[in-house]
Chains A and B, each alone.
Chain A
Amino acid sequence: MEERPCAVLLKFPGTNCDAETARALEEVGFVTETLPVSALEPGKLVGVSLVVLSGGFSYGDYVMSGRIASLVTEQKIGKTLGDFRDNGGYILGICNGFQILTQLDLLPSGSLVENASGRFQCQWVTLKNLAPTSPFLTHLPAEFEFPIAHAEGRLVTKDAAEAAEYLSSGAAALTYRDEVNGSFERIAGLQDESGRVFGLMPHPERFLHRQDHYDPDWKSTGEDESRGSGYYFFRSLHESITKSN
């Protein structure tokens, strides 16, 4: 019987998308464990293939979104997540998880600040897949839709040139097709050099099924018409991990 890879979902006070993210991971074949940050210690990642930082409002987004969660993570396990990646592990940050990963320096330098609109934005967006060979994106087409729900999703870098460099280097794996929140170069998702650390503001776990889409006539480009693009995001990841194990 095929062994199912294990995904650990870190849960901070204020994390609120872990249940549906765990459901998405289980649907594509992962076994999952939700780990409260109070129980986090380096040994907890032994035998784990994927660490997920889900969406939400960790520590009330105090100071800046993701800051306190990143500090507490670093305080509890130091550089363990970096070692985990270097030893072949995968790390995914969705929305608030993406904000935390940028603060942990596990992704190219950048910060996620208040949307240019000054408002919380909850809408569907079209994304451009700029890294079709990414372990997270192999089953997704050149353009696809995911929902977003964030107030602080505008990716900024120290200057505009750095963001442009992310486009040319491949670090910018996902961009918004249209202007959404003022992100530099419309960047919606970043990956690190290894390709195993990936962060994005949109929520793939909210589009597992065709009927999750706002348009009842929406048609999937994947092999299973009943599935949404989010399913193929997690399926790409599962396939990459099982192939690499």
Chain B
Amino acid sequence: MRETYEISDRFIGAGDANHLLYEPLSSGLTFRRTRRYELEFEGERTAMDAFVRKTLFDEISHDLHEGEEPGLSGFTFFLDYGMKPGALDLEKEAILRYYAGITEPGFTLKNLKIRQRIYLFGGKVDESDRFVRDICNAAIHQWNVTQANV
């Protein structure tokens, strides 16, 4: 079975997208970051869901979105990026090590895929290549750009 969760920060609004770039754009884009966790598992779904809520989610400061659909709306495009399968993902390692220490978790975590997602808002032309160039590192990252109208 596979479940996807997207977690966004409740108290952090859209910021100036030029902060993500080495050279500023003139198009006035803004951005928000979220984190996306894709879990492949066997066993009790409720146990897996409880694990996610305890480990990855903060009731006070986060919003949790379940499923494949984007957690935010009104964007121009979003960039998903994360570590290549062969690259060391320290966040994944920390989460898996904690999971491994749980006695009787109620489910078996078969795989965990973590992606940082950056939503870009505004702008009239596709400038996603600039963000890919300045944020992603081809040596360690995999990425994917999704346009709003696709």
Interface residues of A (CB under 8 A from B): 59-60, 62-64, 67-68, 71-72, 75, 109-111, 113-114, 118, 154, 156-158
Any chain A CB within 8 A of the CB of B15? yes
B90: which of A62, A71, A113, A157 is its contact (CB, 8 Å)? Answer: A62
Q: List 25 A-B contacts (CB under 8 A).
A: A60-B91, A62-B91, A62-B95, A63-B35, A63-B56, A63-B95, A64-B58, A64-B61, A68-B94, A68-B98, A71-B98, A72-B101, A109-B60, A110-B60, A111-B60, A111-B61, A113-B9, A113-B11, A114-B12, A118-B12, A118-B15, A156-B11, A156-B60, A157-B60, A158-B60
Q: Taking CB as reference atom, which chain B residue is nearest A58?
A: B94
- Whether B19 and A67, one on each chain, are in contact in the complex, defined by CB atoms closer than 8 angstroms, is no
Q: Helix, strand, loop or mixed for chain A's interface?
A: mixed
A-B pair number, CB within 8 angstroms: 53
Which chain B residues (24-80) contact chain A, with CB distance < 8 Å? 35, 54-56, 58-62
A212 to chain B, nearest CB (A): 32
Residues of B within 8 A of A157 (CB): 60
Residues of B within 8 A of A63 (CB): 35, 55-56, 91, 94-95
Q: Taking CB as reference atom, which chain B residue is nearest A59?
A: B94
Any chain A CB within 8 A of the CB of B125? no
A101 to chain B, nearest CB (A): 14
Any chain A CB within 8 A of the CB of B1? no
CA separation between A59 and B94, bound complex, in Å?
A: 7
Any chain A CB within 8 A of the CB of B139? no
